[in-house]
């Protein structure tokens, strides 16, 4: 039986708001198959992740606020 550790990722408030906005748009663009905008939002989210020392393999939904 594997045990996985759960780590809560906390961004500064302004970055969290920005990430949540990008994530929301990213979900919508994926739903509508708008590939250029999907790529744009992914780049923005990854830039925030990098700036906050979050590994690039962390799924976006683990960083987005739970609503």
Report CA-CA distances (Å) from 24 to 5, 7, 34: 26, 22, 14
Tell me the domain boundaries of the chain.
Answer: 13-56
Give dist(CA 54, CA 8) in Å, integer. 11
Residue 5 pLDDT grade (very low, low, confident, very high; cuts 50, 70, 90): low
Decide which of 5 and 66 is more confident: 66
- For residue range 31-52, what is the model confidence (pLDDT) as tens digits? 999 999 999 999 999 999 999 9
pTM for this predicted structure: 0.86
Query: Of 25, 7, 28, 6, which Cα lies nearest the Cα of 17?
Result: 25
Tokens 């905008």 belong to: 37
């Amino acid at each position: 039986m594997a045990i996985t550790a759960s780590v809560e990722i906390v961004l500064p408030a302004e970055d969290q708001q920005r990430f949540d906005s990008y994530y929301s748009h990213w979900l919508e663009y994926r739903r509508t198959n708008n590939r250029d905008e999907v790529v744009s939002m992914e780049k923005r989210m990854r830039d925030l992740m990098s700036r906050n020392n979050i590994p690039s393999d962390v799924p976006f939904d683990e960083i987005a606020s739970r609503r």
